[in-house]
A and B are shown apart, each in its own frame.
Chain A
Amino acid sequence: MEPFKMIRYMDEQGNKQDIEGAEAITEDLAKAMFEKMTLVRTFDRKAISLQRQGRLGTYAPFEGQEAAQVGSASALKGEDWLFPTYRDHAATITFGHSLPRVFLYWNGRVEGCVAPEGKHIFPPAVPIATQLPHATGAALAEKWKGTDNAAIVYFGDGATSEGDFHEGMNFASVFKAPVVFFNQNNQYAISVHISRQMNSETIAQKSVAYGIPGVRVDGNDIFAVHFETKKALERARRGEGPTLIEAVTWRYGAHTTADDPTKYRDQEASVQKRPQIDPLLRLERFMKNEGYWDQDWAEEVRKKCTETIESAVAEMESFPEPNVEDIFDYVFEKPTWTIQQQKEEYLQLLRGNQG
């Protein structure tokens, strides 16, 4: 058997696989996953549309990666930590981030970085792979405090080329940090295909160098992602250290709304493979195969998701105007005299302009 064989709980036609763990899939779980994936897809499409209308800034879409993000983040529990990149809103929303705040982030508002009270969801990491050591540190802190909380950290295939990927993984393996390194291999780092990113066959195999388990899952199979992440988190909670998960997936759209994917890949081919790989279509086929599907229920879910997203947009757009003092007030706990002086001068200028 290949050591890093792609794990599937259902095949592309939505047939349940004969694999240990697949028996845990229930109708309730399938329905809950369908609802969450529908919600985040609605979010993603709305965000692109708002960007096109000039109501949001540049946005990083994730359509195609819903199973990878929803499946993994739904395996977390309350006090865990989540370190996302700028493409992981589906994960943060699943773990309880506020929808209006996630929209706000893309509207250039720092409030969008702030997750609800009690939720350890970090602001999206903008540099590549730098969040891996943070997750390791936050996870180590939990271990040293004696809790059974864990951390999950998201990163793309391009991140595996960065030094911080190796430094974060190495630290975590040396100190047995309760952290799950969750890679979404969507096969492109902006325009660069993974074949230019690395010469190794899989990302999962990079775990071998660190002496930790490596898991390769079909990132479009929500059950495989969910249960394999859960196993890795349980392992972390038991004190057995980190796991590297590679979820093989695909982003249908551009890297960001400022990018044109037709310049580096055949978008027609992407559209054509959609029926095979799309995580929502696959779950729908699975539910039909298992007798869980109800067309009216699905329509109702879609309608509810649209309403939820519309109301989040309305909330985002009615959010109070940004407070200019915020740019000065959070650099240090107490502003240094330089910042205080600059703030006073600028506020005076603003008041002068108004008067």
Chain B
Amino acid sequence: MSTTMTNVQKLSLVQAVTDGLRTMMKERKEVIVMGEDVGKNGGVFRATEGLMEEFGEDRVIDTPLSEAGIVGTGIGLALNGFLPVVEMQFLGFIYPAFEQIMTHATRIRMRTLGKYSVPMVIRAPYGAGIRAPEIHSDSVEALFTHMPGIKVVCPSNPYDAKGLLIASIEDPDPVLFMESMRCYRSTKAEVPTGKYTVEIGKANVLTEGEDVTIFAWGAMVVIAEKAAAEFKKKNISCEVVDLRTLYPLDKETISASIQKTGRAVIIHEAHATGGVGSDLIGLINDTSFLYLKAPIERVTGYDVPVPFSALEDHYVPTVQRLVKAIDKVIHF
């Protein structure tokens, strides 16, 4: 027990991110952290707090306010021996860097037949629900899952955040690492102090169930668990699957769950059209169509720009909306 106590610490998701960065910066001198305000200020969410003091200004670098410059320079560093972890202050600010990611980061390995690669991690806080200003709340993971050459990772809890971040830094290819701002400080959990990884591409069955599977990631995992708890009272058991990685999806875990429960509801706060939910339905269709007892339901953000904060609660999926969708598939 005491051994366990010394090997874990209670951390919030954002602290787990910092701990993951620190762990890898200690282990690999090639790991550098770059972005706006990541140095002296420790990041606007404090995700890089203390790292500049610990590792110096040469490894924790306050950059000009320039997303394309950060990602583009990061690409150059990555192809010449460094392991940059660059921060987009918000996922909604990634658009100026979109070209760099789409036209270069994702294809340098392919264009050089493996001579050069871009082992870079792009960290990006995302999502609605914290009353951030306009543009700050976007959840546009599908823009990146669509593009071959980059992996997309989205942890929902502190343990996964640290383990997935370390796996992302060690991944030889670019990774978009999405951090739910809503999850940053909502809970604390036990996180091992040393180095460990959570494999990219593996989903996590958080709650086992028999009647319906709820697929979720990031902040929506919390909603999914709340809905599952509601149904438990009614003797309906929901399996909650936290996808954790959005590209590549975990085909085995997803199909095994569907083949067990026969029903699925997907919840994501991103817009519905062309969202990761559509891919999930495609995957289930490919692997498990004949196991389905009801059409798959989706609960998503609407196909509208994420509204200003006064109306954002009307946009983000709620427990109520999810409960309604689960009822629909159960009583089909």
Does chain B have a CB within 8 A of A135? yes
Of B77-85, B122-130, B219-227, the one contacting chain A is B77-85
Question: Would A139 and B76 be within 8 Å (CB), given that A114-B115, A123-B112, A333-B173 are in contact?
Answer: yes
Chain B positions within 8 Å of A326 at CB level: 113
With an 8 A cutoff between CB atoms, is A350 at the interface?
Answer: no
Mask of A71-91 contacts with B, CB within 8 angstroms, 1/0:
000000000010000000000
Query: What is the minimal beta-carbon distance from A173 to any residue of chain B, in angstroms?
Result: 10
Q: At the interface, yes or no: A338 with Cβ under 8 Å from chain B?
A: yes
Q: Does any Cβ of A come within 8 Å of B90's Cβ?
A: no
Instruction: Tell me if B115 and A137 are in contact (CB < 8 A).
Output: no
B75 engages A137 (CB within 8 Å): yes
Structural contact, A167 and B77, CB atoms closer than 8 A: no
Closest to B150 in A: A332
On whether the beta carbons of A171 and B113 are closer than 8 Å, the reply is: no
* Residues of B with C-beta under 8 A to A163: 68, 96
How extensive is the interface on chain B, given as a class?
35 or more
Within 8 A of B (CB), among A111-136: 111, 113-115, 122-123, 126-127, 130, 132-136
In the bound complex, how far is the Cα of B97 from the Cα of A163, in angstroms? Answer: 10
Is A336 an interface position by the 8 A CB rule? Answer: yes
Question: A35 at interface (Cβ–Cβ under 8 A)?
Answer: no
- Does B69 lie at the interface of the complex (its beta carbon under 8 Å from any beta carbon of A)? yes
A142 within 8 A of B: yes
- Whether the Cβ atoms of A133 and B80 lie closer than 8 Å is no
User: Which residue of A126, A132, A138 has the most chain B CB atoms within 10 A of its CB atom?
Assistant: A138
Contact partner, B72, options A110, A122, A126, A168, Cβ 8 Å = A168
Question: Is B68 a contact partner of A167 (Cβ separation < 8 A)?
Answer: yes
List chain B residues, Cβ under 8 A from A170: 64, 66, 69
A137 touches B72 (CB 8 A): yes
Which residues of chain B are within 8 angstroms of A140 by Cβ–Cβ distance? 73, 76-77
- Chain A residues in 8 Å Cβ range of B74: 137
**How distant is A209 from chain B, measured CB to nearest CB, in Å?**
13
A332 touching B149, Cβ below 8 Å: yes
Contact A330–B82 (Cβ < 8 Å)? no
Q: A residues within 8 A CB of B112?
A: 113-114, 123, 330
Partner of B99, one of A122, A127, A135, A168: A127
CB closest chain-A residue, reference B120? A137
A174: interface (CB < 8 Å): yes
Say if the beta carbon of A141 comes within 8 Å of chain B: yes
Q: B residues near A, CB below 8 A?
A: 58, 63-64, 66, 68-69, 71-82, 96, 99-100, 103-104, 108-117, 148-149, 151, 172-173, 201, 247-248, 251
Interface residues in chain A, defined as those with a beta carbon under 8 Å from any beta carbon in chain B: 81, 110-111, 113-115, 122-123, 126-127, 130, 132-142, 144-145, 151, 163-164, 167-168, 170-171, 174, 326-327, 330-333, 336-339
